[in-house]
Amino acid sequence: MMSVRSLPLLCLCFWSSESLYRVPLKMFSGKLDSSVLLSALKRNQSASGDGLSLASDLAGNVNFLSMVDNLEGDAGRGYYLQMVIGTPGQTLNILVDTGSSNFAVAAATHPYVSTYFNRALSSTYKPSGKSVSVRYTQGDWQGELGSDFISIPQGPNGTIVINIAAILTSDGFFLPGINWQGILGLAYPLLARPDPSVEPFFDSLVKQTGIPDVFSLQMCGAGISASTATNPADGSLIMGGLEPTLYRGSMWYTPIIQEWYYQVEVLKLEVGGKNLHLDCREYNSDKAIVDSGTTLLRLPVKVFDAVVEAITQMSMIQDFSSGFFSGTKLACWMKGESPWGFFPKISIYLRATNTSQSFRLTILPQLYIQLVADMDGTLNCFRFGISSSTNGLVIGATVMEGFYVAFDRAHKRVGFAVSACAEGNGIPVAEISGPFLADGVASGCTDGLRLQEPLMWVVAYTLMALCALVLLILLALIVVPCRCRRRDGEITDESSLVRNRIK
């Protein structure tokens, strides 16, 4: 029989001398969960790498070292970058999001926003007269499109002109406790709203500064201890390449399947080293993406259920409530007790650029069993950093905080290396290994998926063009005289379309 000491003191509930208390957890399964405080980890400055790992780009347009630690924030409330907008410059904090493509800033007062971009005070702001709205997994906003100058104090040198969406109204987008006033969408034009003609920020940056079409992201808020105001979680957004001091070992690349989101191909998942034995199409239904703006690791329902079942079977905790896995309850332990030894590692296999091979991202429980609350100084409470999803698999901050992630748009690939800041008590909380043969999944993992957004845009534009052509023909038949003769020889411009139209 397992000793009392080896079990967690409390699981999802705890006793006081008078009554039983249960700890509810307010969860947002998608973007920007505001309920979590995660901590920064110190950077280890020894790293090696290859490929795009340069101290600066060859043209001398950018110094990557100056961008180190240019992000603040944490996974729960988002990582943000300081930017200066307009003339004279107005300084705002902008959320970094690889899962959208609009650059949007608060342009009106809001209860949860400390400052906003006042367009009337910028002499260089140019409105376009177009309205725009964007809906995210959590929250939405509406506003107007325009353009203005921006600069980044800890970014590439110079000032550029970019498209700006001025947020005038929103619902569930700005949240209590955040310290950012806008969002920097770093994905492809196909996700831009109201249509792909709105050039995203990074496309504009590459064109106007000449930096390489690649950026990399380190997020140092791994959930090992709660962040504080004096020691906030931080990170780095390196624009134009990779900074070798931010990661260890080699960079492993997976192809970008479609250029809208950063869509990749997941071949399999393992829990505690055991394969879930699901058809690989389940992992990619309806897409698998890398998204810094999503807090959790989100899994399609069938995959999520299999992961929870595997964790339940392997965990040393008996009778663990489903409320913890569904995100409605926290699990609490006495201070000084670590829960991570009760849970297995989780591995995600991605297709390598050599398509007959794969590599493995492994996260330790420290990344997905996340500390969120200190109860009366005696208990530490944790949440489950994985949720179910109805719109695809999302490699969000739960996983990304273990890795330095390179978005190499020039070569249509996403790279992963172990982050130099992903460790607890000197022990790495993430691992990467390979190559492995892609046994049994050499092709077809993304086959049979539903119609995806890039193709939907093509179909939409084709239908619009067809409708426009039909409309032109109809207008021609109405407007151009039909110079037909009546039996009495009188010429009339009355078209047959008008005479015989359906009423």
Which residues are known catalytic residues? 97, 291
Helix (H) or strand (E) holding 470, with range, is helix 453-479
- Where are the alpha helices (H) located in 328-389, listed in sequence order? 365-368
Euclidean distance between the first and the last CA atom of the chain, given in angstroms as a whole number: 84
Distances from the Cα of 40 to the Cα of 97, 236, 248, 279, angstroms: 19, 12, 18, 37
Residue bearing tokens 């390179």: 406
Which is nearest to 286 in space by CA: 447, 99, 98, 460? 447
Give dist(CA 187, CA 202) in Å, integer.
8
Distances from the Cα of 67 to the Cα of 157, 182, 240, 441, angstroms: 11, 20, 11, 39
Is residue 165 within 8 A of residue 143, CB to CB? The reply is yes
Three-state secondary-structure class, residue 341: helix
Give dist(CA 31, CA 8) in Å, integer.
30
Give dist(CA 112, CA 174) in Å, integer.
6
Give dist(CA 449, CA 459) in Å, integer.
16
Q: Give the tokens for residue 226.
A: 């709660």
The residues pairing with 84 across neighbouring beta strands, listed in sequence order, are 91, 151
Give dist(CA 427, CA 442) in Å, integer.
34
| Strand-strand pairing, 297-300 and 331-334 | unpaired
What is the number of other CB atoms lying within 10 angstroms of the CB of residue 42? 11
Tell me phi and psi for residue 452, to 5 degrees: -100, 165
Does residue 88 have a cis bond before it (omega within 30 degrees)? yes
Give the chain's length.
503
Residues 6+ apart with CB under 8 A from 264: 254, 255, 256, 257, 288, 289, 290, 350, 351, 395, 414
Helix (H) or strand (E) holding 502, with range, is none
452-485 b/e (C-beta count within 10 Å ≥ 16 → b): bebeebeeeeeeeeeeeeeeeeeeeeeeeeeeee
